[in-house]
Structure 1
Amino acid sequence: VTYHGPGQLVMYVLFDLRRLDIGIRALVDVLENITITGLKQYGLSAIARKDAPGVYIDDKKIASLGLRVKKGCSYHGLSMNIDMDLTPFSFINPCGYEGLEVTQLSEHGVKCTTSDFAAVLLHELKQQLNYCQLKLGPNTLHV
């Protein structure tokens, strides 16, 4: 179970994993790495955990992953807490982990919008996958 709400960036990654020649674990690693690298640009140190996918700052989850792969194609993606009301997370076990605390960029003194961080993630994703063109909604963003 998870929660999505205003002030949260949700990034859907629709890839043909066979064409990219990567597996599911490699895609998880890419998504975690681009998030960690993006957070570094804001002066934050974050980690990924093999036992609980996602990205963490001081044992609090700031980004969650939720992927489905069907016929070699990935669906869904990641959610990144930017500046939102975290109260709804207290009513659930985020990602199935009882007692897991969540955090967001604004709690760490970072002032940015979901669009700002989306641009950072897209740039990092392009670097990781060696892409020249990525789609952001109905528009095409060249990074």
Structure 2
Amino acid sequence: MSAGGAGVASCVIKRLGMVDYAPTLEAMRAFTAGRDAGTADEVWLLQHPPVFTLGQAGKPEHLLQNPADIPLVHIDRGGQITYHGPGQLVAYLLIDLPRRALKVRELVLLMEQAIIDTLADYGIAAARKDGAPGVYVAGDKIAALGLRVRKGCSYHGLALNVNADLTPFGWINPCGYPGLKTVRMHDFGVADDVAAVGERLLGHLLALLPPPQAVEAAPPGS
């Protein structure tokens, strides 16, 4: 990608394919713990094998049943329970927020807008819902969001249902909301696969992200 100030790359993009959830979470944590002021931000595009994830304030009773014995992973993002699986586009945003003059709420709004703009490319009218982070089509949830921020740097991100099997969403209260219907792009006639949708989403994310500010060089002898 294009370079930002003082040699800091605007964003490194990693297309990881299908990867297990737990090691990916550990990789995000390790990257965030080890980065410094000169570390380029990264966006990871990927899919996960079937997994339920429960946010740090999540309630286990929102897992109603689990006939397929899908793993449940307790994690450190905000939010309640959600499902990840093949056919769902996941984008993790590892962003230095102060360097881009972003607040957490602004990054959430940016992610939602990138999803809304991506869906608009396919003729799907989507919107936010007050008090319920994510993106919705006619009141039904098509994308979920969740972030964790440490020392000003974000990880986790968003999940957009492209052509996923939605059955496991019926075994939970998605994001803690009983009876919330979950939909996917395939339901609206979209034939593109996860990779193609990922490239469209990536374009919108990069267009909306403010550029990184220059990193001050350390004075000699410091």
Is the pair's TM-score, using the shorter chain for normalization, greater than 0.5? Answer: yes
Corresponding residue of 1:40: 120
Indicate conservation of the 8 Å contact 2:100/2:210, yes or no: no
Mapped to 1, the partners of 2:183 and 2:173 lie a distance apart of 14
SS of match in other structure, 1:11:
strand
Corresponding residue of 2:15: none
Query: Is 1:91 the equivalent of 2:171?
Result: yes
Tell me the alpha carbon deviations over residues 38-95 of structure 1, each in whole angstroms, 9 at most, x when there is no partner: 1000001000123100000011100000111111111100000000110100010111
Mapped to 2, the partners of 1:31 and 1:112 lie a distance apart of 20
Q: What are the ranges of 5 or more consecutive residues in structure 2 without an aligned counterpart?
A: 1-80, 212-222
Highest RCO, 1 vs 2 (Cα 8 Å, sep ≥ 6): 1
Mapped to 2, the partners of 1:25 and 1:77 lie a distance apart of 13
Mapped to 2, the partners of 1:20 and 1:45 lie a distance apart of 29
Bigger Cα displacement from structure 2, 92-101 vs 122-131: 122-131
Corresponding residue of 1:23: 103
Mapped to 2, the partners of 1:85 and 1:127 lie a distance apart of 30
Corresponding residue of 2:41: none
Mapped to 1, the partners of 2:197 and 2:131 lie a distance apart of 26
Q: 1:11 aligns with which of 91, 101, 117?
A: 91
Mapped to 2, the partners of 1:53 and 1:128 lie a distance apart of 18
**Once the two structures are aligned, what percentage of the paired residues are identical?**
49
Corresponding residue of 2:82: 2
Q: How big is the shift at 1:130?
A: 4.7
Bigger radius of gyration: 2
**Matched residue type, 1:87:** T
Query: Is 1:120 the equivalent of 2:200?
Result: yes
Q: 2:161 aligns with which of 81, 86, 101?
A: 81
Mapped to 2, the partners of 1:72 and 1:50 lie a distance apart of 25
Cα RMSD of the aligned pairs, angstroms, is 1.2
Corresponding residue of 2:25: none
Corresponding residue of 1:108: 188
SS of match in other structure, 1:102:
coil
Matches within 5 A, 1:63-78: 63-78=143-158
Q: Which runs of 4+ in 1 moved over 6 A?
A: none
Q: How many corresponding residue pairs?
A: 132
SS of match in other structure, 2:83:
coil
Mapped to 2, the partners of 1:67 and 1:50 lie a distance apart of 18
Corresponding residue of 2:21: none
Mapped to 2, the partners of 1:125 and 1:80 lie a distance apart of 13
